[in-house]
Each structure stands twice: as structure tokens, then as C-alpha cells.
Structure 1
Amino acid sequence: MLMLKFSDEVREALDQKKPIVALESTIISHGMPYPENVEMASTVEEIIRQEGAVPATIAIMDGFIKIGLTPEEIERLATEKGVVKTSIRDLPGVLASKQTGATTVATTSYAANEAGIRFFATGGLGGVHRNVAEHLDISADLITLAKCNICIVSAGVKSILDIPKTLELLETLGVAVYGFETDRYPGFYFQDTGIPVPSGSVQQLANIMKVKEHLSLEQAIHVAVPVPTEDAMDKQFIQGIIDEALVEADEQHVSGKDITPFLLAKIKDKTGGDSLKANISLVKNNAKIAAQIAVRYRQP
């Protein structure tokens, strides 16, 4: 694909069939303030390298989908004004106008699939929003995952969403869901939603991806990893805060693409920053697990 532009490190890894883990870039431009965003991006990349894989942070720059960013490009993404949060519907326009764009889960999944990268680590998936019957708000993440032959590792679906309905839609779309060393689906900030899922180890999940390569299936596999115990939040506590934030969003008529950042900011304030601590912890952990599976996948 002509609009893909690879870093030297990622190009070499592809040529030599080394394990690679894709990373989204919205967390850099829209998820954290500077310079914490640069530090976070660099730390996650280093975690992947320590596990024996190659990180490929993805973003839109100068009319190209960049697969793998240099430290200078990460700095640019973190500090440049007007970076576009680029979901799949926005991609043609951002590329055509040569805007700088940070990729969401949907766009990163698409780009990784086009580049031949099979593993992608992120924080949480988008999904079916609460009160979907009133707003019909469903993330493009889900539809895109039904078309991408990747393994996406996250801490589950974002807690602000309707998790049961999201899992039902993933099933309808043919996206297989596994818990990493757990038979209960995690809830992003907390470890257990009570929803049963098949459990898999690093080796088992790598084997599943290997078998998938021999099948004519285009859907992704989703691996859900519980947030580390030391940073997990109490389920009832965080759900109560989310409910309060949802009421405030409704009262202030916040909807559409503005709802998620609004809710996350409210949750951060109401938890005294504990939710951000949990978010950082799970992102790092997901990168580690994704790299481990990618490395095992490349072994005979």
C-alpha cells in the first residue's frame, strides 16, 4: 500500500519476520498532558523491546500512515497543535489534507492489518454505549475488528460502556474473545465483570493465532487482560462514579465523539487520579503480554 510509510526498525522487523506489536497514538495526543505523554509512549515501546519484540507506534503524518515512529516524531505528535483524533471514517480526509492525525483503535487495527502486523496492544476497546437504543452510539472499533486479521490485547472494553452488549456484538461479528489466564472478562478498571470467557495462556493464544493463519477468517481475536492487582479499583466504587459521570453528561447534553473524553476526565477528577494510575498500569501490562504472545507466535 503506497500510503504506508515504515520506520527503518519496523521495515527490518517485517523483512526478518521478527515479532512486532502495533500501538495506537491517540493516548499520546489526546490521552495525557506533555511531557507525561512522551514518557508514557517511550516506556511502553521499551517494555515491548525488553520482551523481545519490536514496537510500531502508528500515526498519520505528512500524507502517510506512519508505521513506527522515531523519538522525534513522537515528540511532534505530543506537542503539535490541532492533531486530529483519527477514526476510520476520518482517515481519507486526514491523509488527503496532510493533517497530523493520532490513530484510534479502529484506525490502528486497519493500519496494522494492512502492514501485515498481527499483534496490537492498547488500553481499552470502544464498544456499545449505554442507552444505545436512544443514541445508537456504537464504536467503529467493533466493525473494524471484524475485518482485521490481528490479535488485539486490551484490559477489556472501557468501563463507561455497556460491556455485555459489546461482547454480544463481538460474538455476532465473529470476533473471538479470550481472557488472559482468567475465565472472567475484565472490566478495564476492575478485574472481573462476572462474564465468563474462555481462558488462554501465552502459548495457547499464540497457537490460536497460528491456527487462524491457516483459516480464511478475517476477524480479529481479542485478548482481555485484567488490570494488575495492585492498581485495580473496586468494582462498585468505580461503577458508582461512572454512573454519576453519565448523569452529568446527560444534563450537559454531551454526546457523540465528545462523550468518552468527557467521562474519562470526570472519572479522573472523582477518583483523585486513581483511574489514571490504573489506566497507565494496564497499558504497560497489555504491551508486555502482547509482546510475549507475539514472540511465542514467531517461534517454531
Structure 2
Amino acid sequence: MTDLHIRYGTEVTDALRDGHPVVALESTIVSHGLPRPDNLRVARQIEQAVREAGAVPATIGMVAGELVVGLDDPRLTRLATVDGVAKLSVRDLAVAAATGADGATTVAATSAVAAAAGIGVFATGGLGGVHREAAQSFDESADLVTLARTPITVVCAGVKSILDVGATLERLETLGVGVIGYRTRRFPGFYLTDGGFDLDWSVDSPEQVADVLAAREQHGVHHGGLIVANPLPADEQLDPELHDRTLADGLARLERDGVTGKAVTPYLLAHFHSATEGASLAVNVRIILRNAELAARIAVAAAARRAGA
């Protein structure tokens, strides 16, 4: 499966052709979310978690201006190790392609490309959302609007706890993006098991998620994405007191240093990594590995349901 605009990895091409389960994975976590050399090792572990759960991983990124669905190991290594890899949201894809850039796709870009490629399930760590003080800055992640118009199921640990979680949930409701908890009625807070807000819906198995996806198709009235919120077990979360202290200090530093816009999230995540002496990074890795496994199980259940139908 190759066209003039997107290159597909061989494994992904075969899986899509044969109706086998595929899980999309972002590359921003590889290029910008994790420090070297851990980033490449973890990227390979994420793909392996998908494979072990029965699905084909499709890590998405751009190499020398070519958008790739299913990066092979040399391309994945390039995005993990070279300098100057651009962070690509949906609006950046065309410019980056035309200029021959190397780029790592965000949640928004990965969702859009995966849906265009016919991949229905995507695993990430935490979503972007409404930033604190957004009433003054109007700072809101493109993830939200993209999910409102992209038919994809995103498995995540809620939104990053450095954001305004309540406002993000309100925006998701306004935008018509469905949110269901996986074995929980509380919205997770990325590093934290409980983000502080209730959810209306919960499911207990990948098969139930597949049933939800099938019902959406049968009704034909959905227009956007579905979020499956998968919290960390309480004994695997970042210590809540450490989290709150680190966040308060990070927000103060943010204001002191005048950091705004898309630089806010990487700034705060780097502060968490430093201030917690790597504990937040370990939690981040646990999050994405658990989400990759669950996304694969959902993709397997959905493929089995389609085959049965």
C-alpha cells in the first residue's frame, strides 16, 4: 500500500490488506518526549507490547519529507537520534513534506494520518488539552479539535495533569468526543490514577470497547473520535504529594521564565523529569506500555468482531 503521499511499511501494508489488527503509535514521544538514549529503547518496547498483544504496530513519522505509516527500525532510529526533528501537528504536515523535513507526529497529526490510512486504534500516553489560564491565553491543544473530526479510538491515560483537566473534559463534551473509562468511572490524570473528575461511562474489557465501536458504525451518526481512558493502578502512579509540589514549582518557573504556547508542555515535562529525579519518566513509560497493550487488545477484538460479522 503505497501512494504519492504516504509510504506504508511492509508489515502494515500486509495487515491492512488482510484485515489484521493494527495500532497507530506517535513519534513525538520518541523525538521529544523521552531523553536519549532511552527514547529508542522505549520506542521498540512500545512496538513489542503491541505485537505481544496480537496486533501490528504502525509508528507514524516523517523522514526527509516522506510521511511514513509503519516506520522501520532505521527510520525509527533516525527520528530518535538526529537533531532538528520537527514536532508536527496536522497543520505542519504539508510544509514539512514540501521542505524535506524530518518530523515527529503529535497526537493530532498521528490521529489524522492513522484515520486516513484506515487504522482505527491509536495508543498514546496522555492527550493535550486546555492549558491553565486558557481564558487569557486561548491556549488549547490541537488534539481536541482534531479528535472532534477524526474517526479514531485513542487509548490514553487521560490528559496530562499539567493541564486544566476539568476544562479539557468540558471541551471534549462540547466537541462531541466520546470518553469512556477502562474499568473506572474516574478520569485519569496521566501521572495520577485519578484526575479528579467523574466519567459517565465505563467498560470492563476490550470486547466491550469493540462493541461500542461496532454500535457507532451501525448508527452512522458519529463524526469524531472516542477516548478510552486507561488509568495507572494506584500503586504505579507518581506519588501525589510529589506530583503536586513539582507542578506548583513548575508553574511558578513557567511564569518566571515567560514560557508560552507549545513550549509549555515540554518545559513542564522536563521540569517533572528533573525535579522527580526520573520518577515521572518511569511513570510515563509505564503509561505508554500499558496503553499500547490495551490498544492492541482492542484492535484484536474489533478485528475479530468484523470477521465474525
> How many equivalent residue pairs?
300
CA contact (8 A) 1:228 1:281 kept: no
Which residue does the alignment assign to 2:268? 263
Which residue does the alignment assign to 1:45? 47
> Is 1:248 aligned to 2:253, yes or no?
yes
2:196 and 2:84 mapped to 1: Cα distance?
A: 41
Which residue does the alignment assign to 1:97? 99
- The Cα shift of 1:75 comes to 0.8
Q: Structure 1 stretches (4+) deviating beyond 6 angstroms? A: none
AA aligned opposite 2:88: T
Summarize deviations over 1:245-287 as a string: whole Å, max 9, x none: 0111001101111111111111112212111110000010000
1:175 and 1:2 mapped to 2: Cα distance?
A: 31
2:136 and 2:241 mapped to 1: Cα distance?
A: 25
Which residue does the alignment assign to 2:77? 75
- The Cα shift of 1:206 comes to 1.0
Unaligned runs of 5+ in 2: none
CA contact (8 A) 1:175 1:222 kept: yes
Equivalent residue for 1:199, pick from 197, 202, 216: 202
Which residue does the alignment assign to 1:156? 158
Unaligned runs of 5+ in 1: none
Equivalent residue for 1:233, pick from 209, 233, 238: 238
1:193 and 1:180 mapped to 2: Cα distance?
A: 14
1:249 and 1:34 mapped to 2: Cα distance?
A: 24
CA contact (8 A) 2:36 2:81 kept: yes
Map 1:96-245 → 2, pairs under 5 A:
96-197=98-199, 198-201=201-204, 202-214=206-218, 215-245=220-250
Equivalent residue for 2:282, pick from 267, 277, 298: 277
The normalised TM-score by structure 1 is: 0.97
Identity between Structure 1 and Structure 2 (%): 45
Helix, strand or coil for the counterpart of 1:141? helix
CA contact (8 A) 2:242 2:276 kept: no
Helix, strand or coil for the counterpart of 2:59? strand
**C-alpha RMSD over aligned residues:** 1.2
CA contact (8 A) 2:155 2:295 kept: yes
1:175 and 1:143 mapped to 2: Cα distance?
A: 9
2:76 and 2:235 mapped to 1: Cα distance?
A: 29
AA aligned opposite 1:180: Y
The normalised TM-score by structure 2 is: 0.94
